[in-house]
Structure 1
Amino acid sequence: MTPTLQMLALVVWANGVPVLARLLLGPRLAHPLDGGRLFRDGRPWLGTSKTWRGLGAALLTTPLLAALLGLPWLLGLVAALGAMSGDLLASFIKRRLRRQPSEPVLFLDEIPEALIPAVLLMAALDLSAAGVVIVVIAFALTDLLLTPFAGRLRRMIKRIG
């Protein structure tokens, strides 16, 4: 597997596993990272959709995926930290823009989550600048395709349960 595909797999997993954890666990362990605290503008720091459950799922499982891909587990941890940092940055900005938790904002939801970990791991994976661009674009397309599917799946699970 090429470094570009390895990076893409890590980014897709790190960003997707919090959604998977929400689908599997429902409201269990869904404690907001910001603890419900408000920023000086009176809006939440991050919002209710950024939880300890999601952060934990990414940080605990992405290193396992890295090992399965033949990479050091530490690279998986760095990828997860980068992806989650990008996700939290995007959420912070979205709250300042008065957007609701989980409300999509084109490119803001995709670029930081893929760009930060790809840049952090460029040297370790011998990833070129073109490889970083490919990872960001491929992740954005994957996210745009899978997000509506995850929403439909979540609604189906709510109706069943």
Structure 2
Amino acid sequence: MANWMLSLHLLALLGVANGIPILAKKLLQDRFSIPLDGGFTLPDGEALFGASKTIRGIILSIVCTTGAAVLLNLDWSIGATMAGMSMLGDLFSSFIKRRIHLRPHDQALGLDQIPEALLPLLAVRASFSLTSGDIAVLVTAFIVLELVLSRLLFRLKIRDRPY
């Protein structure tokens, strides 16, 4: 990718979008923790998304990522779009994990990271003239950073489990 600063900004926005719900859970615990699926269970006996996917997490992700975009001198809509699409990717991952009967917080390398990075990058692709190669590099960088930061946040007792 030619513009390394843009790459850092996009990775930062992905980090904020995906990190804020984890931080909110740690700081707010069960306050305002309303499951997005309302506890709905499908005929397979599994929740639609699971109790860890909350309205609080999605709202805070969108608000904070929008603010981060403005601080990075990007249009607010870039932050909102990236957060919304990242949360959509995260919900997709949770939906699939429930269908294959993985427990909440079980690790699924790739499934846990790719949709929440790929969807937002595809959504802002035209805004930044991102190539497929740019997106592949950013998704790979996101996976590596998430795995490293996850272990650090676990050691700092911010995450309940490391990836």
Structure 2 length as normaliser, TM-score? 0.90
Stretches of structure 2 that go unaligned for 5 or more consecutive residues are none
Distance in 2 of aligned mates of 1:27 and 1:39: 24
Q: Indicate how the Cα distance of structure 1 residues 155 and 69 shifts in structure 2: closer, same or farther if over 3 A, else same.
A: closer
Which residue does the alignment assign to 1:159?
Answer: none
Root-mean-square deviation (CA, aligned residues, Å) is 1.5
Q: Report deviation, 1:155.
A: 7.3
Equivalent in the alignment of 2:69: 66
Which residue among 10, 14, 18 is the counterpart of 1:15? Answer: 18
Q: Which amino acid aligns with 2:28?
A: L
Following superposition, the deviation at residue 56 of structure 1 comes to 1.1
Structure 1 residue 154 displacement after superposition: 3.9
User: Percentage identity across aligned positions?
Assistant: 40
1:37 matches 2:40: yes
Q: Which runs of 5+ in 1 are unaligned?
A: 157-161
Higher relative contact order (CA 8 A, sep 6+): 1
Q: Aligned in 2, Cα 1:16/1:155: closer, same or farther, shift over 3 Å?
A: closer
Task: Give the alignment partner of residue 127 of structure 2, picking from 116, 124, 128.
Answer: 124
Provide the secondary structure at the position in 1 that maps to 2:105.
Answer: coil
Q: Take 2:39 and 2:135, find their aligned partners in 1: how far apart are those partners?
A: 35
Aligned to 1:4: 7
Conserved in 2, the CA contact under 8 Å of 1:4 and 1:134?
no
Q: Does 52-61 or 83-92 show the bigger shift?
A: 52-61
